[in-house]
Amino acid sequence: MSEEFSPRAQRLRDAGHKLTHARLTVLSVLEESGGHVTSAEVLEQVNERDSTIGRASVFRTLDLLTALSIIRPTFIHTSLTPTYVLLPDGHHHHIICTNCNRVIEFEECGLGAMAAELEQRLHVKLSGHLLEFYGLCDRCC
């Protein structure tokens, strides 16, 4: 029977990977946490839902999702731990305040056209992007 899986889970399967319990758990944690999470937070959440899932599997899944452009690691604050960002439709944009580290997200972007131009000029096949501005937020100006 064709069970119901999230579109992202389908992408995993389509890429030839198995939909295991561990992977689905990590994915649902990411989807429900709103977009910005560190690996430590993912580990904690996964552990809460099912403490039998090993750390190694969580990291492996994060790497896998990164390779598929489903999430993207980025540095919000510390240089020690990356923060993973869900890419809703393959892209994401935010502003990081270099003073208070607040993250301001915004929609938009005229980058579809730029992507198309780059694909043609450089003979590449783009699947997503991350645009990160940094500066001072309204409170820190």
Partner DNA sequence: CACGCAGTTGATACAATATCTCAAAATCAG
Partner DNA sequence: CTGATTTTGAGATATTGTATCAACTGCGTG
Residues 34-53: x/- map of binding to its own copies (CB under 8 A)?
Answer: -----x--------------
Q: 115: part of which helix (H) or strand (E)? A: helix 111-122
18 binds, among its own copies, DNA, none (CB under 5 to 8 A by kind): DNA
- Residue ranges that bind DNA, judged by CB under 7 A: 13, 17-23, 38-40, 52-57, 59-61, 63, 78-82
For 99, which DSSP code? T
Q: Is the Cα torsion angle 99, 102, 106, 111 positive or negative in sign?
A: positive
Q: What whole-number distance in Å separates Cα of residue 21 and Cα of residue 50?
A: 10
Minimum distance, C-beta of residue 122 to its own copies, in the bound complex (Å): 6
Our finding on whether 107 is near its own copies (CB under 8 A) is no
Nearest alpha carbon to residue 86 among 28, 15, 25: 28
**Other C-beta atoms within 10 Å of 84: how many?**
23
- Segment contacting its own copies by CB under 8 A, of 1-9, 29-37, 50-58, 117-125: 117-125
Our finding on whether 138 is near its own copies (CB under 8 A) is yes
Minimum distance, C-beta of residue 139 to its own copies, in the bound complex (Å): 9
> Out of 9, 29, 42, 62, which residue is the one contacting its own copies (CB under 8 A)?
62
Residues 63-92: x/- map of binding to its own copies (CB under 8 A)?
Answer: x--xxxx--xxxx---x--x----------
Q: 96: part of which helix (H) or strand (E)? A: strand 91-97
In angstroms, the Cα distances linking 120 to 62, 115, 128 are 30, 9, 16
* Closer residue to DNA, CB minimum distance, 81 or 90: 81
